[in-house]
Amino acid sequence: MTSPAVVIDNGSYTTKAGFATDDLPNLVFSSNYMIDKNGKVIIGDDEMLNNPNLEVMTLLDNGLVYNFDRIVDNWSYVYDNIDNNNGIDSKEYPLVITEQTWNTNKNKTKLCQIAFENFEVPIFSLIKNPLSQLYGCGKSTGLVIDIGASVTSVTPILDGIIQNKSSYHSKYAGDFLNLHILNYLQSKTDNLGVSGSDSFKQWNLSHGLLSDYKNLSLSYQVKNYQLLNHSHINVSDQRNHLEHLFDPISFKIPNISIPEPTLDKPESHGLTNLIYFSLTNLQQSLYATNSDSNGAPSQNRFARFIELFKTLLNNVLITGGTSSAQGLPDHIINDLRALTQKFFPDYPFSYAVHQIRPTNSDNSDIWDRQFGSWLGACNLANMLNDESGNKIALDNWFISKADYEELGEDLVLEKFK
C-alpha cells in the first residue's frame, strides 16, 4: 500500500497542508515569511508575530508562485511539522500541490523539479483548483466561482474538462475588500493598535483585525468593534463592503488608483461581469464546436447548448475563504439568474441556476469554502490507494520519479497541461 499523499495548497493568504487521508488540513499557516539578520527564514504565524520589526514577504503573485527559493522553505516547514509537529521523510510520501488554471508552463516545470530534485518525492501531481473542488462535490460539470484572498476566478467545467478560453479571473477579491475596510476603519480612528514595520503592520492587520472584522461585520452587522489596542469604535453606519467585489470602482480609496473597466481587459471588471464574460464566451465556443463542415451551425446546436448550460448552471460551486461572508453566495446566485434572464431570453436557463451545497452541517459548509481546494485535491490523491483508481490516477494526474528522470520536461507539460 502506498503511503498517504502529502497535499499542500499554497494560497496567497494561507498554506493548507496535511495527509490526503485527513478530514481537514492539520497545518494552516500564513503563506508569508520573514528573514532575520542572520539569514534565517521565519515561517509560521506565532514566529512572525514575535518579530514585528522584520519585513514580511510574499510567495505568490496573482495566485501563482514566483518565489521558488522560498517555496522550498514553505514545503520544508510542512514536512517538518505535518505529523503533529513531527517531521516526516519526503522520499516516502507522494506529493500533491494545487495550482491555478492560469499557471504557466515555466511554473509547472519548476515546481515539478523542486518536488523531485529537492525533496525526492516518489510521485508528484499538480491538481487544478476548480477541477478538484468540483470533483470533490461529486460533479464533473459545473461553474466554479472561487473568491479567495488575492484572486477571484470564474471557471466553467464540462465533463471534467476546464474551458480555459471561457475562464476569467481578477484581483478584486478578499485583499481588495481589506483595502476598503481599512480605509473605513481609519476614518473612524487614528490608532488601530498595530505597530512594527510597514509590511508587518499590513500583514498583521490582514490576518488579525481585518479578518476578524469581516467575519463579524459581514455576518452579524455589529455596532461596535474592539480594536487590537482594546478600544472600541462605532461601525453601525458601515457600508455593505461586499458590493466592492461586484462594482470595484463605485467607491474610491485615497491614494489608490483603480483602473476603469474596459471590454478588452476582463480582469478590470467585477464579479458579475466576469460571470457574464464566461457564459457568453462559452456560448460562442459551443456554437463553434457544433457547426457543420461549412461553418454553419448544425441542427442540434440549440439542443446541445441548452443541455450543457442547464447542467452547468444547475451545479454552481461558490468557494474560497472570502465566499464565507454571509449573503455573498445568495448575491451571486441572484445575479446569475438575472444575467441568464437578460442575456439568454430565448432559453429557459434562470430556473436551472442552483448552488451546490454541502449535505452535512453548517460547519461543513464553512470548511468546504475555506479548504475546498485542499479537500478536493485529497479526494483525487486518495485514488492512489484505491485498487480500482490507482491506474487512473497515475495515468491522468501523477508523475513518478522514474518517469520524470526518463522523460523530463516534456512529460510534465503533457501530463499537467
* Separation CA 273–CA 269 (nearest Å): 6
| Domain ranges (residues) in the chain | 6-128+374-415, 142-172+263-365, 174-246
* Whole-number pLDDT of residue 208: 74
Query: Collapsing DSSP states into helix, strand and coil, what is residue 60?
Result: strand
Does the pLDDT of residue 277 top 90, yes or no?
A: yes
- Tell me the average pLDDT across 324-337: 88
Fold (CATH) for 142-172+263-365: Nucleotidyltransferase; domain 5 (3.30.420)
- H/E stretch holding 202: helix 198-207
pLDDT given for residue 1 in this prediction: 47
- The answer to whether 6-128+374-415 and 142-172+263-365 have equal CATH topology is yes
Q: Which residues are 97's β-sheet partners?
A: 8, 126
Q: What is the mean pLDDT of residues 42-66?
A: 94
Summarize pLDDT for 139-198 with one digit per residue, the tens.
999 999 999 999 999 999 999 999 999 999 999 999 998 888 888 888 777 777 778 898
| pLDDT surpassing 80 at residue 382 | yes
Average pLDDT of the segment spanning 243-260: 87
- CATH placement of domain 6-128+374-415: 3.30.420.40
* Most distant pair of Cα atoms in the chain: their distance: 72
Mean pLDDT confidence for 18-39: 94
What is the pLDDT at residue 56? 95
DSSP string, 307-361: HHHHHHHT-EEEESGGGGSTTHHHHHHHHHHHHHHHH-TTS--GGG--B---SS-
Which cell numbers in the block locate residue 328? 455573498
Q: 138 pLDDT exceeds 60?
A: yes
**pLDDT, tens digit (0-9, with 9 covering 90-100), for 338-360:** 998 888 877 777 778 999 876 54
Question: Residue 343 corresponds to which cell in the numbers above?
Answer: 442575456
**C-alpha triplet 367, 158, 138: angle, nearest 5°:** 35
